[in-house]
Amino acid sequence: MTKEKKENSFFEDLKSSLEEAVAIEKGEIEIPEDRIHRHELIEDLDLNPDGKKFVKDYKG
């Protein structure tokens, strides 16, 4: 795949994801149940017991 095709594919995927996110936010479509959001996963596994944002705590 050429560099230009890779870039076009990336932007097409990004556009599709953004359109889906906007539709979900507007309530036009529901979030599929098979998707796990990272923040929910962190809370479910109790990796974030203090309730702080992981990004703020990470000092890598």
Q: pLDDT (tens digit, 9 = 90+) per residue, 19-58?
A: 988 888 888 887 766 665 555 554 555 555 565 555 554 4
Give the pLDDT score at 54: 53
pLDDT in tens, 5-17: 777 888 998 999 8
Q: Which domain holds residue 12?
A: 3-57
Task: Write the CA distances from 1 to 9, 15, 18, 59, 60, integer angstroms.
Answer: 10, 20, 24, 37, 34
pLDDT of 60 reads 46
Q: Which two tokens stand for residue 12?
A: 């097409």
Question: How many domains would you assign to the chain?
Answer: 1
pLDDT above 80: residue 1: no
